[in-house]
Amino acid sequence: MRIVEMNLGFLGLQFSFGLQQSNMAPIYSYLGASEASIPLLQLAGPLTGLLIQPLIGAMSDRTASRWGRRTPYFLVGAVLCSIGLFVMPLAPTILAAVCTLWLLDAGNNITMEPYRAYVSDRLSDEQRNFGFLSQSAFTGLGQMLAYLAPSFMVSALGFDLNAVDAHNIPVITRAAFTIGAVLSFTTIVWSIWRVPELPLSDAARAVIRAKSRTVGATLGEIWDAIVTMPVTMRKLALMSLFQWYAMFAYWNYVVYSISRSVYDEANPLSESFRRAVLDNGIVGGFYNGIAFIAALVMVPLSKRWGPATTHAVCLVAAGLGMAAIPHIADKSWLLVPAIGIGIGWASIMGNPYIILARSIPPERTGVYMGIFNMMIVAPMLLNAVTMPLYFNTLLAGDARNALTLCGVLMLAAAASVFWAREPHAHTGRTSANA
């Protein structure tokens, strides 16, 4: 229960990410953006992750405040995230939405990296499998609730699907983001209040105080960590390239694919498109619910088969699911491929971190978790820059073709997992049990 409670903040954090994944592309379309430009408008996510997470990781490794190493970053990130969520659906223009997304993603990333390190700090080697996979479970639960919130408001609370503001943004979108603003802050505060960080030993404090805390020293620490990166971590980069390029494209284009295959509609201001957004909410909620369950089931499977083999199998399931969606014309059948996507998503948020935690030295957990996030956001950044260049040509301006590409890339990621051999558990960790 302590491990579950310390990961509760991931519920609010991932509710925020779920709102972005399911609503940001439609919000841009409501404000007049073209489909080809959607990845570029989403640039804030990968770029803030690329810049902020390694920096915050290195800084938190060097922090020895009265509140702990990671807690100050949790709180700052939670405040920024909540402000961004509240303001986003009020954006009157594409530019305003882009600027707000930068604020929101900065908050998310300031919180995310120390949260990974906090779990690694707090748990023993034996507990770490459950620790990271329980984070994965809360990822599934938080995003499931975020995806389902608009549909629940329409079907159960009587909200009008066609009620929009002067900028074509639905009222249900505004309500969902307001809920997210409250949930993001309160769950993070609950986690750090109920399961505070372990106090640093005098020896650990002495090591931290001996390190320079200047920006130059922090950047030097990041560069040195990159140069001396463990071999296993380097090999995980290829897997990350394929799976995260695919995930970013999937989130950006699945709504447009459903709108075409189910409703034969491409106009983002139509009622059919808004229904496609709700359908994607149900699909996303379902696959995140599957992810929540799969993450718990995966704990013994990961121990028995190893996280690499388990992850490869799950990525194959996700790839087949993504490739199937463009061929489905009846929305009720969309839940079938969502099963595979949910299994893959559960593994993505858990198993690579188990492989990583076994290969990195404990005293540099923060900086290496931040650098590993660079391997997540760099493929997204690559997608944001390259997808607009070939969307209207190689993909014929059709989001269904983008989903097919996602499926192929997931299968490539599955094949590349085996290149990253798993080392023996790193010795020398002295973290106490939670």
pLDDT digits (tens, 9 = 90+) for 65-99: 777 778 888 889 889 999 999 999 999 999 999 99
Helices (H) and strands (E) in the chain, counts: 17, 0
State yes or no: pLDDT of 46 exceeds 70: yes
Q: 309 vs 245, which has greater pLDDT? A: 245
With a cut of 50, say whether residue 328 has pLDDT above it.
yes
The yes-or-no verdict on residue 333 having pLDDT over 70 is yes
Structure tokens at 186: 């309160």
- Give residue-wise pLDDT tens across range 134-171: 777 787 788 889 999 999 999 999 999 999 999 999 99
Q: Which of 40-49, 149-158, 299-308 has the highest mean pLDDT?
A: 149-158
Please state, rounded to an integer, the average pLDDT across all residues of the chain. 86
Backbone φ and ψ for 107, nearest 5 degrees, come out as: -60, -45
The residue with greater pLDDT, 351 or 211, is 351
Q: Return all residues near 97 (Cβ < 8 A) that are at least 6 apart.
A: 24, 27, 28, 31, 41, 88, 91
Share of the chain above pLDDT 90, in %: 50
Amino acid 63: pLDDT: 74
pLDDT over 70 (residue 418)? yes
- Using only C-alpha atoms, the chain has a radius of gyration, in whole angstroms, of 21
At residue 208, the pLDDT reads 66
Query: If you write DSSP's letter for every residue of 269-285 in order, what string do you get?
Result: TSHHHHHHHHHHHHHHH
According to the model, what pLDDT value does residue 296 have?
80
pTM for the complete prediction? 0.82
- Which amino acid, residue 89? P
